[in-house]
C-alpha cells in the first residue's frame, strides 16, 4: 500500500523519455545532439522523478541510458555553465543542492537502478552512473570525472563519498584530481562495471538484467540496497544488530514463506515483493 493523499504522480516528463513496461522503467536522456548534456530542467525532472520513485508500485527497476552516441556528458556548457556565471550565491547553492538531490534520490530509491552506459559518461553523467546500483558499459564507452578541468572541485554531487568506497582512496584521488577517462575495460577491471558488452547488445543485456530483478524478491532487494548504503558509516556491532532486525522482519514476509512453499513443492518461487 502506498500513501499519497492528494498528490498524484507526474504523467509526463518533458526533459527525458520515460517508458514503464512490466515493472521496468527505462529513463532515456534525449538530447543526442549534445551528447545528452544536462540542463536545469533535466536536473529538476530527475530530482522530481526520483522523489516519486519510492511511492510507485508500478516500477520495480529503473534503467538509465542515453540516446545516440553518449550516455550523458554532464552539465551543458551553454545552458548551465554559462548561466551560472550570472547567478548569486543563494541561487548557486540551490542549484548544487538540486544536483546532489539527484544522487541522494538514486541511492535512497528502494528499486535497483541500472546504468546502461552506451557512450561517454562525463562529469555529472559519470556521477549519475556511479550512483546507480549496477553499471553495464558498451565497449567504447567511458567514464570521466572532469570537474577540476572546468576549475571546480573534483568532489561534487557526493562523488568523493561514493568513489573511494568503490575503488579505494588512492585510485579515487587520481580519478578526481586528474579527470582522466576510464575505458569500459578499465572500469570493469577496477570494479566500476558490472559487465562490458558490445554496443548492439547493451539494451538487451540491461533489460534482461532488469527483468530478472523485477521478477525477483523486490522487498529483499530493497532491504539489501538500504543496508549497503547505511552500514558504510556504522560500527560492526551496529551493522550486525541492524542486519539482525531487518532479517527478522523479512522472515515474516510473504516472499520468505513463498520460498519455503516453493522449495517443498519442488517449483520456482512466485515472488510478490511483500
| 209-238 per-position pLDDT tens digit | 999 999 999 999 999 999 999 999 999 999
Which pLDDT value is given to residue 8?
A: 85
Section 193-215 average pLDDT: 98
Alpha carbon 229 to its chain's center: 13
Compute the distance between CA of residue 185 and CA of residue 177 in angstroms, rounded to an integer.
21
Condensed to tens digits (0 to 9), the pLDDT of residues 157-195 reads 999 999 999 999 999 999 999 999 999 999 999 999 999
Looking at per-residue confidence, does 266 or 6 come out higher?
Answer: 266
Which pLDDT value is given to residue 1?
A: 58
- Is residue 128 pLDDT above 80, yes or no? yes
Check: CB of residue 89 under 8 Å from CB of residue 39: no
- Is residue 132 pLDDT above 80, yes or no? yes
Residue 148 is given by DSSP the state G
Which residue intervals of the chain bear CATH 3.90.226.10?
17-214
Condensed to tens digits (0 to 9), the pLDDT of residues 54-103 reads 999 999 999 999 999 999 999 999 899 889 999 999 999 999 999 999 99
Environment class of residue 162 by beta-carbon count within 10 Å: exposed (0-12), middle (13-18) or buried (19+)?
middle
Find the helix or strand (DSSP H, E) in which 136 lies: strand 134-138
Check: CB of residue 124 under 8 Å from CB of residue 118: no
DSSP, collapsed to helix, strand or coil, labels residue 252 as coil
Which pLDDT value is given to residue 6?
A: 80
Which pLDDT value is given to residue 156?
A: 97
Looking at per-residue confidence, does 143 or 78 come out higher?
Answer: 143
- CA-CA-CA-CA dihedral for 110, 252, 267, 225, to nearest 10: 20
| % of the chain exceeding 70 in pLDDT | 99
- Is residue 118 pLDDT above 80, yes or no? yes
Which pLDDT value is given to residue 3?
A: 76
> What is the architecture of the domain spanning 17-214?
Alpha-Beta Complex (3.90)
Amino acid at each position: 500500500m502506498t500513501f499519497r493523499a492528494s498528490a498524484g504522480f507526474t504523467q509526463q516528463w518533458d526533459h527525458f523519455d520515460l517508458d514503464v513496461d512490466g515493472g521496468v522503467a527505462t529513463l532515456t536522456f534525449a538530447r543526442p545532439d549534445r551528447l545528452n548534456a544536462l540542463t536545469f530542467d533535466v536536473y529538476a525532472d530527475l530530482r522530481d522523478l526520483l522523489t516519486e520513485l519510492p511511492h510507485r508500485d508500478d516500477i520495480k527497476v529503473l534503467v538509465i541510458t542515453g540516446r545516440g552516441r553518449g550516455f550523458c556528458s554532464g552539465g551543458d556548457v551553454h545552458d548551465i555553465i554559462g548561466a551560472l556565471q550570472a547567478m548569486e550565491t543563494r541561487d548557486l547553492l540551490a542549484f548544487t543542492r538540486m544536483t546532489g538531490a539527484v544522487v541522494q534520490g538514486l541511492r535512497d530509491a528502494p528499486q535497483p537502478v541500472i546504468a546502461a552506459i552506451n557512450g561517454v559518461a562525463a562529469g555529472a553523467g559519470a556521477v549519475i552512473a556511479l550512483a546507480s546500483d549496477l553499471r553495464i558499459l558498451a565497449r567504447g564507452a567511458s567514464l570521466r570525472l572532469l570537474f577540476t578541468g572546468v576549475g571546480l572541485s573534483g568532489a561534487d554531487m557526493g562523488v568523493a563519498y561514493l568513489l573511494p568506497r568503490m575503488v579505494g582512496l588512492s585510485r579515487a584521488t587520481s580519478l578526481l584530481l586528474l579527470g582522466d577517462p576510464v575505458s569500459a575495460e578499465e572500469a570493469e577491471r577496477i570494479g566500476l562495471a558490472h559487465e562490458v558488452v558490445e554496443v548492439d547488445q547493451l539494451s538487451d543485456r540491461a533489460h534482461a538484467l532488469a527483468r530478472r530483478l523485477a521478477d525477483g524478491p523486490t522487498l529483499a532487494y530493497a532491504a539489501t540496497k538500504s543496508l549497503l548504503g547505511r552500514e558504510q558509516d556504522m560500527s560492526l556491532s551496529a551493522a550486525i544488530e541492524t542486519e539482525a532486525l531487518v532479517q527478522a522482519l523479512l522472515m515474516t514476509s510473504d516472499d520468505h514463506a513463498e520460498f519455503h512453499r516453493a522449495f517443498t513443492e519442488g517449483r520456482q518461487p512466485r515472488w510478490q515483493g511483500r
